[in-house]
Structure 1
């Protein structure tokens, strides 16, 4: 992993925590912005995803792991009404999940280059993974899937809260 990639991961962590931890008003922009960023990141970083050997399976594992982690992240965001508008709140558990995932990804990349290079090489050979590009693609797909899944879960919770508000308003006026 290059210095720029380390910086990108740390920057991503700071952005996620700064823009999500705490209580924020639910807006269309708040829900769409992460999806736009994922689309841009996918276009930039996933141009040549390796598909030889079991590279596709490794990327699929990254996808599944990302979706699962994203669902957990989404469930750690509460959506509720405050002062007549919907807000979403993400706290310590949400922040801790993102820290563990991103720092874990950085430590894995560092370890693959410095601590357990031989193990990664052997594992890759034994499992027909063609190299570092496959691992990189799997981790990028995992990160992007995590964001999409988190936003999707939050979107569903917002829709439910809006539906509940409409039903409550109808009940009050009836």
Structure 2
């Protein structure tokens, strides 16, 4: 892993800080994690192989990311500000799940580039995975799925909170 790899991984893990502090559910705040993962994907994703069992690997990555994202969103508390805008605040469980997902991917990358290279190569050969490009794509799809599913759950919860906001006439 290069210094850039460590910085990108750290930046993605640190996205949890605003979630813990609490954020207003504005379009900007909702899309920031999506933009960060998309930027990482554009940096790392050089190809998207579909031979062998690469697509199945991608599906596993997406499902794992979806499970983490749904769990992150489900364990994020939402409340309503006085102006009716939803406020999301990740608790310890949501923050831990976010960190686990991001750190697991960084840990896998570190392991793949060090002592795990032989084991991953053998697993890839045995399971018809074409190589590093497929693993990179699967891990990026996992990250994107985690971000998107968390966003979807939080936005659904925010919509419910905001729809119950008192109207201006009711506040008078």
The Cα offsets for residues 71-129 of structure 1, whole Å up to 9 and x where unpaired, read as 11111211112334321111222221122222221221221222222221111111000
Question: Which residue of 2 is the match for residue 114 of structure 1?
Answer: 114
- Cα distance in structure 2, aligned partners of 1:39 and 1:2: 19
Alignment of 1:14-163 (within 5 A): 14=14, 16-85=15-84, 86-163=86-163
CA distance in 2, matches of 1:109, 1:158: 35
1:69: how far off?
0.9
**What is the TM-score of this pair, normalised by structure 2?**
0.85
**1: CA distance between counterparts of 2:68 and 2:139?**
13
- Residue 7 of structure 1 aligns to a residue in which SS? helix
| 8 Å CA contact retained: 1:38, 1:148 | no
Contact map agreement 2:65 2:146 (CA 8 A) in 1: yes
Change (3 A) 1:70 1:4: same
CA apart distance, 1:64: 1.2
Aligned-partner SS, 1:20: helix
Q: Which ranges in structure 2 are unaligned for 5 or more consecutive residues?
A: none
Give the 3 Å change call, closer, same or farther, for CA 98–112 of structure 1 in structure 2. same
CA-based RMSD of the aligned residues comes to 2.2
SS in 1 for 2:48: coil
Q: Deviations over 1:25-56 (max 9, x none)?
A: 22222223333444444455445211111111
After TM superposition, the structure 1 stretch with the greater mean CA deviation from structure 2, 86-95 or 32-41, is 32-41
Query: Hey, what's the Cα distance between the residues in 2 that align with 1:112 and 1:33?
Result: 29
Structure 1, unaligned runs of 5 or more: none
Which moves more between the two structures, 108-117 or 131-140? 108-117
Distance 1:31 1:24 in 2: 9
